[in-house]
Chain A
Amino acid sequence: MTGSFDILIVGIGGQGTILASNILGKACLLEGRHVKGAETHGMAQRGGSVESHIRIDGQFGPLIVPGWADLLISFDLLEALRYSHYLKRGGKMVVNKHLVLPTSVFTQKIAAPTEDEIIAKLKSYDLCLLDADAIAAEAGSVLAQNVVMLGAAAGSMPLSPDSLVAAVRSLVPPKTIEVNTKAFEMGRAFGTQC
């Protein structure tokens, strides 16, 4: 559109999409760049589907137009598929290999695609699929999976790894700085291979 690099982060309320968005925003500030964003607050925190828009170098509205995102980061397989139409042709998709089925699937017996069916569909995109939970656990805490995801996507963003690491270190709780730094680097190492 107007020269912004548009990143959509999606997941389920409580997975840490807002912290991920704040880290990207902070990295932009460290590089002296404009940034705009929009996110889901309020009711949708209760286990609902959540989205966070980040427009690096954005100067106008906060919303990414469907079909125009440069990068989609998804913390859940089903959510990746739900928001896949946001990605532009040739855009990159970084997805956590993790599937939480909505409760309605069980209570109302609604049909849901299987993990394999979802992955088969996602493969039509430039996909980087990773087990962020396992990598985060290896780094020292499963809670760092959102930072692992950012690390894996780092190579696809117009932000320097140094600014991203500095942003991670300034925004995560003080006691978890080292674990999150490691989580970021491990995610980044994985990302370079896919």
Chain B
Amino acid sequence: MERQYLLGNEAIAHAALEAGVDFVSGYPGTPSSEVIDVLRAQSERSYYVEWSVNEKVALENALAAAWCGVRALCTMKHVGLNVASDPLMTSAYTGVTGGFVIMSADDPFAHSSQNEQDTRCYAHFARLPCLDPASVQEAHDWLRDAFRLSEEFGLPVIFRPTTRICHSKGDVELGAVVPGQRKGEFHKDPRQYVVIPAHTRILHKKLNEKQPHIKKRLVELGYNRYEIRGKTAVIASGIGASYVEEILPAGISFMKIGAYPVDEDWLGDFVKKHEKVLVIEELAPEVEEKVRQVAGIVPVFGKKNGYAPYEGELSPPLVAAIMVRAGIPSENPFPAVVPEQNLPVRPPILCAGCLHRASFYAIKKIFKDAIYPSDIGCYTLGLQLGVVDTTICMGASITVASGIAHSGEPRDVVCTIGDATFLHTGIQGLMNAVYNGANITVVILDNRITAMTGHQPNPDTGMTAWGIETVPVSLDAICRACGVTFVETVDPFDIAGTVNILSEAKKRHGVKVVIAKQMCVIMARRAGVKRKRYMVDTEQCTGCGTCVRFGCPAIEFIEEKARITDLCSGCSVCAQLCPAGAIGREGSK
């Protein structure tokens, strides 16, 4: 046994090693990505690991491995589970023989997500067991347990940490790593694995018959527990339970829900021993609805009567405020403090020397009055440059562009999508756009890596999750195979060349694809690419602001003159833009 200070996701990855995991797949997404990043970086591996092209692919791969009797882990963020929801729903019917854990990391407050959906609702919907840890130690212990539970129930188990688990840290007691030793073996059983109507009707019944036993076991095993200390009770789940435990006054009963489905009889017994119950949980009222079902005349306080919010994340002061509102305790221990007002915000921004900024500049120059659907990646930050009009979910730039174009909107429609996102769910939209004759320009922002989530390789990188070289997919060939005839690859750092190709695309009708290809600046630095920095000749600088408006974080504007800081990575774009010719490469004059 060893104690380490670890990130939640590092502890989760270690727990998978302790469980002797045999098969790992997933798609990167904040806050889930570090689990596979840790597993793929291990020097000794007794398991298979892959970054899949999307979550549906990842889940189906891992499900099949678990059908073969090995222990499989599949990781994604909450919205990834939407993509994987088709196999998820029916995997509950087929069940598994090897332990199968689906980690879907939720993001209350949408720190880096497009919505605040709650994975517990999927567990409820699919009738699958779900574990909801309240601390890094619990995340570690329960991920390890989840494989055993999956084998005991013969079902996939959903593991649902949130951002404040995945990206929080703690001193964690670790166990010994167990090398995965199982070899997959598929036992043919069409009644289990071929879900034709005659089979699936029976499988559905079997799934429902498992539920009462699962509920009892989750209480027996201590995932759901309580202590009676008085006539008022607080019921809490997830990280909310940690916040409650820190401030709960003496004499208040406490129930902690860590696993679903919740046993209604057990819950009802507890609730009915109290005169008042408050429910504290993030996002959907999953626990509260169950409590209300069994509460009878006991008053329940929670989201449904306005005591707690449906949105955002909890925090100790918010939990204290909810408790005060509900009459427990008498005083808020955290008086409000006021932050300093009117400070300039510092949001994340595209890096100095990012290829996307150059591509966006060229797009805006040629398509001045256009609609710009975009997608999910670093380049969503193009919003700050006025070149992102829509973002809804992975792969939706090309489809949204088609829909807008077919709606009769007269302006040009130019959409942007990254290489990984294009391969994730973009191709179908492109094929559809060509098939149905849309008039759009698609710019694939190709930096050859999945950058935003921490530089995971994808089929465009030419490298697997293990770092083994593989054949890179040809974006050009994919686009041509979809029927696109105008497919041009440009270097976005060559502004004139990029502008030229875009203006050519603008003249033509139909689906045009421009692939703006250049290495991610962070990857270039790691690969040892060295470009000389640029500097401003203050004598020649007229202070016109052209370079400043380009929006590069390496360019400052002090006393009516531009200045380039040491953040410069030498992309040269500002020098190409400067109308006074005042920007030059360091040491060139």
**A contact residues around B345 at 8 Å (CB):** 49, 102, 104
Contact of B5 among A35, A43, A44 (CB under 8 A): A35
Alpha-carbon separation in the docked complex, A39 to B166 (Å): 10
> Given contacts A29-B4, A62-B169, are A113 and B343 in contact (CB under 8 A)?
yes
Contact of A121 among B340, B454, B552 (CB under 8 A): B340
Bitwise interface map of B from 99 to 118 toward A, beta carbon under 8 Å scored 1, else 0:
00000000000011000000
Contact of A106 among B242, B346, B556 (CB under 8 A): B556
Contact status A61-B5, CB under 8 Å: no
Interface: B315 (CB within 8 A): yes
Contact status B351-A48, CB under 8 Å: no
Alpha-carbon separation in the docked complex, A86 to B336 (Å): 11
Interface: A92 (CB within 8 A): no
Contact status A42-B453, CB under 8 Å: yes
**B contact residues around A39 at 8 Å (CB):** 7, 167-169
Interface: B41 (CB within 8 A): no
> Given contacts A28-B5, A42-B30, A103-B551, are A82 and B340 in contact (CB under 8 A)?
yes
Interface: B31 (CB within 8 A): yes
Interface: A5 (CB within 8 A): no
> Given contacts A35-B170, A42-B111, A81-B340, are A60 and B242 in contact (CB under 8 A)?
yes
Contact status B3-A29, CB under 8 Å: yes
Contact status B243-A61, CB under 8 Å: yes
Alpha-carbon separation in the docked complex, A101 to B348 (Å): 13
Within 8 A of B (CB), among A8-39: 12-13, 21-22, 25-26, 28-29, 33-39
Contact of A102 among B334, B344, B378 (CB under 8 A): B344
Alpha-carbon separation in the docked complex, A128 to B3 (Å): 33
Contact status B243-A60, CB under 8 Å: yes
With both beta carbons as reference points, the residue of chain A lying nearest to B335 in the complex is identified as A67
Contact of A38 among B112, B169, B454, B556 (CB under 8 A): B169
Within 8 A of B (CB), among A67-110: 67-68, 78-79, 81-86, 101-107, 110
Interface: B358 (CB within 8 A): no
**B contact residues around A42 at 8 Å (CB):** 30-31, 111-112, 452-454
Contact status A101-B168, CB under 8 Å: no
**A contact residues around B243 at 8 Å (CB):** 60-61, 63
Bitwise interface map of B from 233 to 267 toward A, beta carbon under 8 Å scored 1, else 0:
00000010011011100000000000000000000
Contact status A44-B340, CB under 8 Å: no
Alpha-carbon separation in the docked complex, A68 to B4 (Å): 26
Contact of A62 among B164, B339, B381 (CB under 8 A): B164
Interface: B462 (CB within 8 A): no
With both beta carbons as reference points, the residue of chain A lying nearest to B453 in the complex is identified as A42
Alpha-carbon separation in the docked complex, A34 to B4 (Å): 10
With both beta carbons as reference points, the residue of chain A lying nearest to B247 in the complex is identified as A1
Interface residues on B, range: 35 or more
Interface residues on A, range: 35 or more
Interface: A112 (CB within 8 A): yes
Shortest B375–chain A CB gap in Å is 15
Contact of A43 among B3, B112, B164 (CB under 8 A): B112
Contact status B5-A26, CB under 8 Å: yes
> Given contacts A43-B452, A60-B242, A110-B344, are A37 and B170 in contact (CB under 8 A)?
yes
Contact status B171-A29, CB under 8 Å: yes
**A contact residues around B31 at 8 Å (CB):** 41-42
Contact of B239 among A45, A61, A103, A113 (CB under 8 A): A61
Contact status A78-B343, CB under 8 Å: yes
Interface: A111 (CB within 8 A): yes
Contact status B315-A47, CB under 8 Å: no
Contact status B553-A103, CB under 8 Å: yes
With both beta carbons as reference points, the residue of chain B lying nearest to A26 in the complex is identified as B5
**A contact residues around B342 at 8 Å (CB):** 111
Contact status A65-B170, CB under 8 Å: no
Contact of A47 among B168, B171, B335, B351 (CB under 8 A): B351
Within 8 A of A (CB), among B1-32: 3-5, 7, 30-31
> Given contacts A37-B169, A38-B164, A102-B344, are A82 and B245 in contact (CB under 8 A)?
no
> Given contacts A39-B169, A41-B30, A81-B340, are A47 and B348 in contact (CB under 8 A)?
yes
Alpha-carbon separation in the docked complex, A84 to B340 (Å): 7
Alpha-carbon separation in the docked complex, A30 to B332 (Å): 35
Shortest A108–chain B CB gap in Å is 9
Contact status B343-A81, CB under 8 Å: yes
**A contact residues around B7 at 8 Å (CB):** 39
Contact status A48-B346, CB under 8 Å: yes
Alpha-carbon separation in the docked complex, A86 to B136 (Å): 24
> Which one of B3, B7, B333 has the highest number of Cβ atoms from chain A below 10 Å of its Cβ?
B7
Contact status B339-A82, CB under 8 Å: yes
Interface: B186 (CB within 8 A): no
With both beta carbons as reference points, the residue of chain B lying nearest to A49 in the complex is identified as B346
Alpha-carbon separation in the docked complex, A60 to B168 (Å): 12
> Which one of A26, A29, A37, A43 has the highest number of Cβ atoms from chain B below 10 Å of its Cβ?
A43
Interface: B557 (CB within 8 A): yes
Within 8 A of A (CB), among B266-307: none
Contact status A63-B164, CB under 8 Å: yes
**A contact residues around B340 at 8 Å (CB):** 81-82, 84-85, 121
With both beta carbons as reference points, the residue of chain B lying nearest to A171 in the complex is identified as B5
Shortest B299–chain A CB gap in Å is 27
**A contact residues around B5 at 8 Å (CB):** 22, 25-26, 28-29, 35, 37
Shortest B102–chain A CB gap in Å is 21
Within 8 A of A (CB), among B520-561: 548-549, 551-553, 555-557
Contact status B246-A36, CB under 8 Å: no
Name A residues whose Cβ lies closer than 8 Å to a Cβ of B: 1-2, 12-13, 21-22, 25-26, 28-29, 33-49, 58, 60-63, 65-68, 78-79, 81-86, 101-107, 110-113, 121
Q: List 8 A-B contacts (CB under 8 A).
A: A34-B170, A38-B164, A44-B111, A45-B348, A47-B349, A47-B553, A60-B243, A78-B343
Shortest beta-carbon contacts, A-B, top 6: A25-B5, A42-B30, A60-B246, A48-B348, A62-B168, A37-B169
Knowing that A1-B246, A37-B169, A66-B317 are A-B contacts, what are 13 other residue pairs whose CB atoms are under 8 Å apart, sorted by A's residue number? A28-B171, A36-B170, A41-B167, A46-B378, A47-B349, A49-B345, A63-B164, A65-B315, A66-B339, A85-B338, A85-B339, A107-B549, A107-B551
